[in-house]
Each structure stands twice: as C-alpha cells, then as structure tokens.
Structure 1
C-alpha cells in the first residue's frame, strides 16, 4: 500500500527574498550568550564527536536517561517510531499544534486523535500522548493535565525557556521531556536537542538504538554542552526581562491597529489582522508573519516579539496598506 506523502508546513524562511523583519519565527531575537556562541564557533569540525555522546549525556543529567536528538523534529519522529515499535496504536496530538506530531504518527500507521483540552484525552488503546507546554502556536499553558495512566506521555518543552509569565507546571513522574534549546538561544540553524526519559526502560533503550550515527554535529555538541551553564541561564533570564518589555509594547501597537489578540505566556501569540489579505501584502514589504491556517486557524497569524525597529516597520507597513485601501 502506497501512502500519499504528507509534508510539514513551517514558519521561517520561504522561497522568497529574505525578510527584513521576521515575526514568523518564535526563536529569540536576542541571539545566544557570547560564551556559548564562541564555543559553537570553535567546535572541532575535523573530528567525529563521540558517537555515544557519553560526556554530553552526563552533563545534561543522568547518562542513562538522556537521548541526544537532531532538534525537536528528529526527536518527534524517533520517539514516535519507538512508541509504535513498543506497541502503541494511538497518537494523541494537540490541535492547534505543531504538525510534525501528527505527520510522524500518520507515516507509521498510528491512529491519530486530536484534542484541544488535555481533559479530552481518552485513549482506547495503548497510546502515545504529546503535550506541548507552553503550547505552540498559542503560547498558552495547557496544565493542569488529567491522569493519563500508563500512556507514553511526552512533553515538548521547546518553548519553556521563553516563558515570560507564570511558572512551569510540575510534570507527571512518568512523563518524558523533549528539550530544544536552539529557539531560546536564537540558533535554530543548529539542530540539537535531547529527550529526557523518566527512567531507563525498554522504550529508552529502543529510542537510543533508533538514532542515526552521529545524530549531533560538533556544533550541536558545543551548544548542548553549554546549555546548562550558569552564564547561559543568566543570559536567558536577561533575555526574558527584555522580551517582556518589548512584548508589552508590541501588543499595545497591534491593539491600536485593531488586531485581535489571544493571551499567551510566551514571546509569541496568535493575532488576527482586520484585512484578510494583510499577510501577503506585508510579505511584499519585507515583513513575514506565520500564517496559522495550517494550524486550523484561517485568518489568524502567529506573531513573535521583535525589537522596536521591527515593530515600527510593521506599524508603518500596516498603516501604508490601510492607506491604500482607504
């Protein structure tokens, strides 16, 4: 049986000219801490990393629970395959949510079931459950979560380092975590992350065995090696402080332009411009936003917090478009 290919849709670069101001990415616009960046730039590209990444796994936590991944997307694919091979037959995915959860499950023949509220998760077979906390694309907090019993629960924490309000919820003891630091560090071009298992078990061993050889580049090893450094975490604390100021100003700006906006605890959120054709017209002016249609939210866009110069450019472009329509 031949399956019809399903392709993911992402924000960020498209096939057009580079955008001068990119509100579509939910990565930090403030970049990496200097010491971490220097380590990445100094990474030894002439040698293979240790294929077992033993020293890195010890640095990130328990060597017997850490699984290096080539970013979140590779981790999602590999963990979904491990779930299927371990007997899971259903995959519960957030809707709206990152499309790769469902695509990975569809590709393996799992029954894909969506939910908007975690309270609606009711598996009828051995299941894999994905929770993105905070949520993408909404930036909302989904906790509290119901008791999901013996499901394979994986919490995607890619956006936790950019939580700008509230506290991270306590994770269930049996939850896996998928950690993707490159967004918070403004280094999304380096594909590096890791999964943290609740315990060394058959699924952990299976997921480890399914990894491609040298899943992380030398640059990825350098990034993750310095992820938990005190300097890195202090830098991120300062980043969050600055982003809170910029986010307040940007939300006020959009409100003044009559854009609808949803609440969020992160540096990104959902907004709806008054004009249906606003997105391509802004793109023509060098400003990119993330169309939320692929999330099941036509008419909405995901916008990320950007510096004052980008905000001013967005405001001027919107006013210019409105002037053309007047």
Structure 2
C-alpha cells in the first residue's frame, strides 16, 4: 500500500485518532460484558516474582528508608549510574552516561513529559510510524499536534512504504511493535538513522517493551540512532512483568538533561519510596547473567503451547515480549480482544492481541480449540 510523499494531515489525524476510538469502543464492551474473557489485557501472572524481587520482597517498610521525606529518583546518582552501566556492560551499547539517564515512576509519566517537552520547545507536528501507544496518541490530540503518518502499515506487514519528511522534523517511533512481539526491522531503523543524520531530526523512541528478546539478543537496533538527537523510553517493570511497581527511565541527549529533568519533576513530582528502592533491585536483576530470560522463556513456551494445541490457526511469529497477535480457533463471540483497529494497521482479520501471561486468556483459547 504505497504512501504518498505528502500525506493529508487531516487524514493522518483521522487514522491515528481512530485508534483511540477503537479503544473507547472496547472499553464500553468491557463494561457491558464483564463475564466475557478479555484475552488482550495488560495484567498477567508468572512464577518468577519472588525470584526477581529476592530479599526486597520480604523487606519491612521501615527498612526502605525515610518514610517522612520525598524520594526523588532523579536525585539518586547511584541509580542513574547503574542504569548507564546496564546499557554499556549488559546491553552492549556504547557511551551511555549517567547524565543521560533519568529514572522515574512509570512509562506513562514519561510519555507525557516527552511530548510536553517538545511542545514547550515550539514543536507542533509529529511524524509517526504506527502503532502509537494510546496514551501517547491521547496527548498528541490533547496538545493539538498536527500529525503526519510516514509508514503505510505496521512494520511487520509484508510491504511497508516509508515517506519520511524532507526537512528537520520530530519522529515518533514505537519499537518493538509490542502487541505482536516483533521488533521494528533493522532496515527500517537504518533508513531512519540515515534520514536523521541528513536532516538533523529528533527521534523519540517509545521502547517501553524493549530488552525483552526471547533469545537475549542485544543491543536494540534503535541504540544506533544519534544520541544527541534521540530520546528513548525504557520500562524495566514491563521487562520483568512486575506492573505493581512504577519504574521507567528516559535516555535523553545530555544537552537537554537538566531541562528535561526539571519538567518531569514539575509534571509528576517525586515517586514513592518503595518504587525507588525497587528500581535498584530491578536494574540489579536485569544486569545479571540471565536477566529477564526466565520470563521470556515462559512466554515463548506459552506461545508454543497454543500453537501446538491449535488454539490459534495463524499467528505473526513473535520473537520478544509476552504478547501474541494471532487468529484464535475459539469463536470470536466467546471473548473480547484488541484487534488491528486499535493499532492503525491494515489486514489480519480475525486476529487478536493475546496476553501470554494471562492464564484466563490461555484457558479460554485452549478450551475453544476444537470449536467449529
């Protein structure tokens, strides 16, 4: 599906914000039919919680630290240094410094700050590749950004045409295509890197679900982008499947670090003490030899179980994370799910996002594998 070089901004807004409409319709169905299993949900269970938490799981509250003082992650230089070392020593990246790494409470807060920071700098247009996480799309709409879609489809589609802006721009790139467990193609990142070098454009990488490769491969392709022009979002609580804690971090150009940190603090204030202490534990676990691989192997085994039992008849072959995009065997009226309309892509009728960590979702799909 070719994409014209100069797309219609009105149509691009319609395409992006139709994803929000699809989420709203799904929300109404979830309220109206609470007994139908929701196979696409964002929560889940896994057997590695105590393994990941270690002694932190049993630490009394009074041992966390001062309960009467604010606990700012950005005022914790040890944490920022540990994050930089994680990227340099474990993830195989080079020259990531503590002066680039801003930790905070959750990826949603950073989505807000990333867009607000650009807005306050005078940026009024965002170019994007689908999908865009719905909270980011909501802020783009709320702040009144003009949006330009520069890819004809989600990156795992067979033919994807890119029409990047000819001049200096702001590009929003979500990697991986998380709902299907597929990294953005290396060739796509190479094209964006070359374009960024030629135009001096800023790229925001929503890497909330990065560092979740099923085979432990690293580094992430987007680490090749110009660090002086790139903002990256990483979320260890997603990597470890521990959503009850709030911890994410942004890797930002050093020249913007102070301004970005100040804005983030003004928007969101200080995180909780438990979240800050957990952040240290999370980085420690991710820096270990096995990191999050036990959880990734668990998700991979769940996928193989569904496939071998013919609980799904077709699937986009995943290689990271714990979401699967596939066509279930069970009739669609037996469950609720997020389909391609939630992500701005085309095709794949009957496919649904499946949370491989949700036992109720797995049971629902397995129970219906012999259905007509």
The aligned counterpart of 1:3 is none
Please give the alpha-carbon distance, in whole angstroms, between the structure 1 residues aligned to 2:58 and 2:181.
31
Is residue 2:116 matched to residue 1:81? yes
Where is the helix percentage greater, Structure 1 or Structure 2? 2
Query: Mind listing any 5+ residue stretches in structure 2 that lack a counterpart?
Result: 1-16, 85-96
Residue 112 of structure 1, CA deviation: 1.0
The aligned counterpart of 2:325 is 270
Is residue 2:225 matched to residue 1:172? yes
Counterpart contact for 2:126–2:170, Cα < 8 Å: yes
The aligned counterpart of 1:48 is 69
Please give the alpha-carbon distance, in whole angstroms, between the structure 2 residues aligned to 1:195 and 1:83.
14
Which residues of 2 match residues 150-161 of structure 1 at below 5 A? 150-161=200-211
TM-score, scaled relative to structure 2? 0.69
The aligned counterpart of 1:242 is 298
Is residue 2:338 matched to residue 1:290? yes
Please give the alpha-carbon distance, in whole angstroms, between the structure 2 residues aligned to 1:192 and 1:258.
34
Counterpart contact for 1:126–1:151, Cα < 8 Å: yes
Please give the alpha-carbon distance, in whole angstroms, between the structure 1 residues aligned to 2:59 and 2:245.
9
Name the CA shift for 1:206/1:262 in 2 (closer, same or farther; >3 Å): same
Is residue 2:205 matched to residue 1:183? no
Please give the alpha-carbon distance, in whole angstroms, between the structure 2 residues aligned to 1:207 and 1:48.
23
Correspondent of 1:311 among 342, 355, 362: 362
Is residue 2:82 matched to residue 1:59? yes
TM-score, scaled relative to structure 1? 0.77
Please give the alpha-carbon distance, in whole angstroms, between the structure 1 residues aligned to 2:243 and 2:183.
23
Name the CA shift for 1:45/1:126 in 2 (closer, same or farther; >3 Å): farther
The aligned counterpart of 1:207 is 260
Query: Which string of whole-angstrom CA distances, capped at 9 and with x for unpartnered residues, describes residues 294-325 of structure 1?
Result: 22356431113248886344211454xx3xxx
Please give the alpha-carbon distance, in whole angstroms, between the structure 2 residues aligned to 1:19 and 1:59.
43
Is residue 2:213 matched to residue 1:163? yes
The two structures, once aligned, show a CA RMSD in angstroms of 3.5
The aligned counterpart of 2:275 is 220
Query: Which string of whole-angstrom CA distances, capped at 9 and with x for unpartnered residues, describes residues 73-122 of structure 1?
Result: 21111111111222333212222332233322222222212223586151
Residue 176 of structure 1, CA deviation: 2.4
Residue 44 of structure 1, CA deviation: 4.8
Please give the alpha-carbon distance, in whole angstroms, between the structure 2 residues aligned to 1:231 and 1:120.
34
Residue 132 of structure 1, CA deviation: 2.0
Residue 20 of structure 1, CA deviation: 7.7
Name the CA shift for 1:191/1:45 in 2 (closer, same or farther; >3 Å): farther
Please give the alpha-carbon distance, in whole angstroms, between the structure 1 residues aligned to 2:169 and 2:357.
39
Query: Which string of whole-angstrom CA distances, capped at 9 and with x for unpartnered residues, describes residues 224-256 of structure 1?
Result: 112221577435122223332222222333xx2
2:211 aligns to what SS in structure 1?
Answer: helix
1:161 aligns to what SS in structure 2?
Answer: coil
1:64 aligns to what SS in structure 2?
Answer: helix
Q: How many residues align?
A: 305
Residue 124 of structure 1, CA deviation: 4.9
